[in-house]
Structure formats: structure tokens, C-alpha cells
């Protein structure tokens, strides 16, 4: 349940996002209503089940890979100020735009990093450090698993925003799941208002330490998926 003050912060974020989106191409959803449903409410699909995914007793931390215009990162961070969020993206001008929005919102539980996941996942302060790793509209599943699983702690979860039509991607991700010691835990289906329809969160669990060779060098997870 979102209280009135949090809803107001989400609305302010949406306005600030649309101002930035008018100058930099962050999202194709350009009207307030489209952005509210298709980006903000879509990002919040995780909120109801978020607590059930944490396993750690220590400080809770969520990483969003390829955060782009800040989805699902910002809506989740606004709704859950008690959790630390990190967002990464390869494109500096997108992260700069997010830094401007962050400072206008005074959002103290968000850290933003410019970089490729294939490189950042080998940094000791980021590797296997996160309870939950999220990604929306970043890559097909096998590529996405190689980007994400190395950041997750053992027993941590990777949550991917997907359409209902992922049977092929799922079939093609079997080798990646084996190599990365991960398995599908559940598919959380939800429905958005207006014409946005039915979607799902695919939730994977990491069962063992990731071998040092993953993720492979920049570009390979996309060019030659596992
Ligand atoms: N997650 C946002 C959303 O749902 O609106 C942005 C999606 S956008 C289509 C994909 C973003 O992922 C881009 O901003 C791109 O720069 C970023 N990206 C793709 N591959 C990446 C990688 N390996 N490491 C870091 N960022 C990556």
C-alpha cells in the first residue's frame, strides 16, 4: 500500500523524468499517463513480493542493471527508503540525467555508477554483494543471466521484467543457468491498467559461487550467449 506522501514523490519523479526525457532519449513513453503506467507502475510490480526475496541478515541491497532512465530503480527506491539501491548503466549521459533527478528528489538511498556490467561485476565491492539484482528491457535471458548472476550473493535473486512471450528465450537460457548455478524460482504475473496488459517478473535464484571467468569480456555475453 502506497501512502499519499510516497505517491506525491512518485508523481514528482515522473514529472522530473519527463523533463529530462524531452532533452535526452530515455524512454519512448513520453506522455505523463503512458509513463506513469508503463514505467512507474510497471517498476512497482515487484513491491508486494520484495521482502519475501531477501535472504541476508545484513544491510539489504538491490542492484539495477541497465537502469537507463531509472526503471525499475527510482520508483522502487522512492517506495522503499529503508533499502540501499545501486543503479548501473553503460551510458554516462543517462547516469548524469539520473544524478540530476536524484539530487532534486534528495534521494539518499540511491547510488549511480557508469559502466558495463561485464566489467563492474569483477569489482570486489560489487561482485556477489547484492541480495537482489533487477533488470528491465536490457537483454535476452541468457545474456541477462550472465550480466546479473555474478553480482548476486549466494541464495540471492535476479528479477527480470519480461513480456508473457519468453518461451524461446527460456529454452535458450538452459546452458547459461547451468554455467552460472542459477535456477528459475518463480514467475510472478501481473496486469497493468489501460492497454499495457499482462506481464511477468521472472525470478531466478543463485545457488553457488560464480566462477571467476563469468561474466566474460565486454560484448561476448550478447554476441555469443552461453
Ligand atoms: N531499464 C530501463 C528501462 O526499463 O526503461 C532502461 C532500458 S534500455 C532499453 C537498456 C539500458 O541498458 C540502456 O540504457 C543501456 O545503456 C543499458 N545496458 C545494456 N547493456 C548493458 C551492460 N552490459 N552494462 C550496463 N548497461 C547496459
Q: How does pLDDT run across 21-80, given as a tens digit for each residue?
A: 988 888 888 899 999 999 999 999 999 999 999 876 667 899 999 999 999 999 999 999
CB 49 within 8 A of CB 80: no
Mean pLDDT across the stretch 156-174?
A: 96
- Is 197 strand, coil or helix? strand
Give the pLDDT band (50/70/90) at residue 86: very high
Strand partners, 136: 161
Chain-centroid distance of CA 84 in Å reads: 13
pTM of the model: 0.96
Closest among 190, 203, 199 to 163, alpha carbons compared: 199
**Which DSSP string do the residues of 134-189 spell out, in sequence order?**
EEESSS-HHHHHHHHGGGEEEEEEEEEEE-S--HHHHHHTHHHHHHTTEEEEEEEE
Q: Kindly tell me the burial class for residue 5, based on how many C-beta atoms sit within 10 Å of its own C-beta (0-12, 13-18, 19 or more).
A: exposed
Mean pLDDT over the full length of the chain: 95
Residue in 27, 36, 66, 114 to alter for ligand 1 test, most ligand atoms within 8 A of Cβ: 66
Q: Which atom of ligand 1 is nearest to the CA of 66?
A: 12
Peptide bond into 215 cis (omega under 30): yes
pLDDT tens profile 87-136: 999 999 999 999 999 999 999 999 999 999 999 999 999 999 999 999 99
Do residues 166 and 178 touch, judged by C-beta distance below 8 A? no
Q: Does domain 4-223 have CATH number 3.40.50.150?
A: yes
Ligand 1: list residues with CB < 6 Å: 27, 66-69, 71, 88-91, 94, 116-118, 136-138, 147
Amino acid at each position: 500500500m502506497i501512502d499519499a506522501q510516497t505517491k506525491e514523490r512518485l508523481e514528482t519523479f515522473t514529472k522530473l523524468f519527463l523533463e529530462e526525457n524531452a532533452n535526452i532519449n530515455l524512454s519512448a513513453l513520453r506522455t505523463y499517463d503512458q509513463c506513469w503506467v508503463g514505467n512507474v507502475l510497471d517498476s512497482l510490480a515487484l513491491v508486494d513480493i520484495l521482502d519475501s526475496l531477501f535472504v541476508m541478515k545484513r544491510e539489504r541491497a538491490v542492484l539495477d542493471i541497465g537502469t537507463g532512465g531509472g526503471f525499475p530503480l527510482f520508483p522502487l527506491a522512492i517506495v522503499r527508503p529503508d533499502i540501499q539501491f545501486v543503479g548501473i548503466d553503460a551510458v554516462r549521459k543517462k547516469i548524469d540525467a539520473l544524478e540530476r533527478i536524484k539530487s532534486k528528489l534528495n534521494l539518499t538511498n540511491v547510488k549511480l555508477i557508469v559502466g558495463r556490467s561485464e566489467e563492474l561485476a569483477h569489482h570486489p565491492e560489487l561482485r556477489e554483494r547484492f541480495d537482489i539484482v533487477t533488470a528491465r528491457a536490457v537483454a535476452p535471458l541468457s545474456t541477462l543471466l550472465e550480466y546479473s548472476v555474478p553480482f548476486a550473493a549466494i541464495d540471492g535473486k535476479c528479477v527480470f521484467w519480461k513480456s508473457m512471450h519468453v518461451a524461446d528465450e527460456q529454452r535458450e537460457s538452459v546452458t547459461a543457468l547451468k554455467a552460472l548455478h542459477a535456477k528459475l524460482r518463480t514467475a510472478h504475473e501481473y496486469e497493468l491498467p489501460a492497454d499495457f496488459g499482462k506481464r511477468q517478473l521472472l525470478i531466478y535464484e543463485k545457488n553457488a559461487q560464480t566462477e571467476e571467468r563469468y561474466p566474460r569480456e565486454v560484448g561476448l555475453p550478447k554476441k555469443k550467449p552461453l
